[in-house]
Amino acid sequence: STGEKTIITRRTTSPSSPKLALARSLARSNHIDTSQLKLVRLVSSQSMADPQAEARGPPEPRAETLVELVRVNGSAAEATLSSAELAWRTTGAGRDSGGRRKLELESDVLGFQVEGRSLKLATFTRGDVTGAGRPPSPVGCGGGAEDRKRGEVAVEMESEEAAERWGHAIRDRFASLGRPKRLFFIVNPYGGKRGGRKIFQTEVLPLIDAAHIHYTMQETNYRLHAQEIAGSLDLKKYDGIVCVSGDGILVEVVNGLLQRDDWDKAIKVPLGIIPAGTGNGMVQGLLHSAGEPFSMSNAVFAIIRGHRRALDVTSVVQGKTRFFSVMMLTWGFGS
């Protein structure tokens, strides 16, 4: 976003683009040198190959369905693990006996770990799907019935081998979704209400740690610092760059990437944004397009899940000045 994880990829240009013709027409009416005005459309290679691919999401991997007699949060159950979900039905006596519960691996699970015969899943769901055990604790901002809540599901298997087998299956599923393993965070401690550092510590890190994502964090100290960071960062070390800020730092990062000598490779690095500034329009738009309510926790979870959206970037050149815009472009006279 991007809270939603935004990806910028392959560069395409069209000299006869209607958008470019319109831009030049508007520029001429305002006496701008149209020979130096360019609109650059950046789209994902997946979207170019198949316009419906983004709407469908990543292809479902073909994997065997695993079935085991287990204990889920202490209750005997028959559990089934497919490529899409972990489902279980309690088998013992009691009020919840026979009730079926499930976790969608893509949309309900932050991460997991295997400890001996136990498979522990950190969940982030709407409503309690965990059954007995530790009650979910609220995470998020803004309140409302649609806030996700953290919880834990502990599945005790019959053997360590079974736990490892299920762990490998879930790990393969996460890999097929494009979930990041290493992220670089740029935190603006001065934007908005000057809460970027606190937001990173209290809202972002708990979810990132639960997802077992490795990270590096750097704060900005002055204007265009984020642009400098993005311009010199060793991008091979990370699966994406995340801005804990308003929209301005994201724009700086885009400009830093596109001004690199290897801009054609840098432009493919996924970008994320966590709302921590005065203007958070990019995050709101991306979360809305994904059907998620606007909140910091939903923005973080979208990044963890590997959500991506194509992003349009405008390149404007006037004389020796060149800059890139990702949200809006205005022109006028100061008074």
Residue range 154-186, pLDDT digits in tens: 999 999 999 999 999 999 999 999 999 999 999
**Residues 209 and 70 grouped into a single domain:** no
Q: Which residues of the chain have pLDDT under 50?
A: 1-27, 29-56, 61, 131-145
Instruction: Quote the pLDDT of residue 186.
Output: 98
> Residues 309, 203, 187, 181: is their CA dihedral positive or negative?
negative
Instruction: Quote the pLDDT of residue 56.
Output: 47
**Residues 149 and 263 grouped into a single domain:** no
Instruction: Quote the pLDDT of residue 291.
Output: 83
- Position 333 in a domain: no
Instruction: Quote the pLDDT of residue 93.
Output: 61
| Residues 254/326, Cβ–Cβ less than 8 Å | yes
**Residues 104 and 39 grouped into a single domain:** no
**Residues 188 and 73 grouped into a single domain:** no
**Residues 72 and 117 grouped into a single domain:** yes
- Position 201 in a domain: yes
**Residues 282 and 312 grouped into a single domain:** yes
- Boundary residue ending a domain (148, 176, 204): 176
Bridge partners of 6? 271, 309
- Boundary residue ending a domain (176, 201, 230): 176
Instruction: Quote the pLDDT of residue 314.
Output: 86
Question: Percent of the chain having pLDDT more than 90?
Answer: 54
> Residues 187, 188, 192, 194: is their CA dihedral positive or negative?
positive
The reply to whether 247 belongs to the active site is: yes
- Position 332 in a domain: no
What is the tally of structural domains in the chain?
Answer: 2
**Residues 167 and 184 grouped into a single domain:** no
Class of residue 194 by CB neighbours under 10 A (exposed 0-12, middle 13-18, buried 19+): exposed
Q: Of 247, 261, 262, 312, which is the active-site residue? A: 247
The residue segments making up the domain with residue 214 are 6-57+178-325
Instruction: Quote the pLDDT of residue 290.
Output: 82
Task: Tell me the two tokens of residue 273.
Answer: 């944004």
- Position 1 in a domain: no
Sequence-ordered strand ranges (E) for the chain: 6-7, 10-12, 41-43, 66-72, 75-81, 85-90, 100-104, 109-115, 118-125, 137-138, 149-156, 182-187, 214-219, 241-245, 271-275, 309-310, 314-318, 321-325
- Position 156 in a domain: yes
Secondary structure (3-state) at 6: strand
- Position 33 in a domain: yes
**Residues 127 and 224 grouped into a single domain:** no
pTM attached to this predicted model: 0.73
Question: Domain containing 22 — which CATH number?
Answer: 3.40.50.10330
**Residues 51 and 77 grouped into a single domain:** no
Question: Domain containing 151 — which CATH number?
Answer: 2.30.29.30
C-alpha–C-alpha distance, residues 157 and 166, integer Å: 9
**Residues 251 and 172 grouped into a single domain:** no
**Residues 156 and 208 grouped into a single domain:** no
Summarize pLDDT for 101-145 with one digit per residue, the tens. Answer: 999 999 999 999 999 999 999 999 987 665 444 443 333 334 443
